[in-house]
Structure 1
Amino acid sequence: MLSLQPQLVLLPGLAADDRMWRGVLPLLPAALRPTVATAHQDASLHSLQDIAAQLLARHAGPLVLAGASMGGMVAMEAARQAPGRLAGLALLGTTARPETAEMRALRESAIALFEQGRVREVIEPNVALAFHPANAARPELVQAYLDFVLDAGAAQLIRQNRAVIHRPDARLHLPRVACRTLVVCGEADQLTPPECSRELAALVHGAELHVLPDCGHMLTMEQPEAVGQLLLRWLDALQAG
Structure 2
Amino acid sequence: MDPLVLVPGLLCTEALYAPQIGELAGAGAAISVADHRQDDTIAAIATRLLAAAPPRFALAGLSMGGYIAMEVMRRAPDRVTRLMLLDTSARPDSAEQTANRRRLMALADSGRFDQVTPALFPLFVHEDRQEDVALREIVTQMAAATGPHAFIRQQSAILGRPDSRPSLAAIACPTTIVVGDGDRLTPPELAREMRELIPGGRLEVVAGAGHLPTLETPGAVTAVMRGWLGAV
Q: TM-score range by the shorter chain?
A: over 0.9
Q: Does 1:13 align with 2:15?
A: no
Contact 1:17 1:148 in 2 (8 A): yes
Secondary structure of residue in 1 paired with 2:19: coil
* CA distances 1:125-176 after superposition (whole Å, capped 9, x unpaired): 2111110122221101111111111221110111101110111111111100
Deviation at 1:104, TM superposition (A): 0.4
Q: What residue number does 1:200 align with?
A: 194
Matches within 5 A, 1:197-236: 197-236=191-230
From 19, 24, 31, the equivalent of 1:23 is 19
Q: Does 1:119 align with 2:119?
A: no
Matches within 5 A, 1:110-149: 110-149=104-143
Secondary structure of residue in 1 paired with 2:178: strand
Contact 2:37 2:151 in 1 (8 A): no
Q: Report the RMSD for the aligned CA atoms in angstroms.
A: 1.2
Alignment: residue pair count: 231
From 29, 32, 39, the equivalent of 2:29 is 32
Deviation at 1:177, TM superposition (A): 0.3
Contact 1:119 1:150 in 2 (8 A): no
Structure 2 CA distance for aligned equivalents of residues 222 and 89 of structure 1? 21
TM-score by length of 1: 0.93
Which AA in structure 2 matches 1:166?
G
Which AA in structure 1 matches 2:186?
T
Structure 1 CA distance for aligned equivalents of residues 16 and 29 of structure 2? 19
Structure 1 CA distance for aligned equivalents of residues 2 and 150 of structure 2? 30
* CA distances 1:22-74 after superposition (whole Å, capped 9, x unpaired): 11112215443012122x122xx210011011100111301110101101110
Q: Does 1:168 align with 2:162?
A: yes
Q: Which runs of 5+ in 1 are unaligned?
A: none
Deviation at 1:209, TM superposition (A): 0.2
Deviation at 1:214, TM superposition (A): 1.3
Q: What residue number does 1:179 align with?
A: 173
From 65, 68, 76, the equivalent of 1:82 is 76
Secondary structure of residue in 2 paired with 1:22: helix
Q: What residue number does 1:100 align with?
A: 94
Contact 1:177 1:204 in 2 (8 A): yes
Which AA in structure 2 matches 1:94?
T
Deviation at 1:6, TM superposition (A): 3.5
Which AA in structure 1 matches 2:34?
A
Contact 2:37 2:153 in 1 (8 A): no
* CA distances 1:62-120 after superposition (whole Å, capped 9, x unpaired): 11101011011101110110011110000000001011111001111111111011012
Contact 1:49 1:77 in 2 (8 A): yes
Identity rate, percent? 37
Secondary structure of residue in 1 paired with 2:61: strand
Which AA in structure 2 matches 1:15?
L
TM-score by length of 2: 0.96
Structure 2 CA distance for aligned equivalents of residues 158 and 18 of structure 1? 19
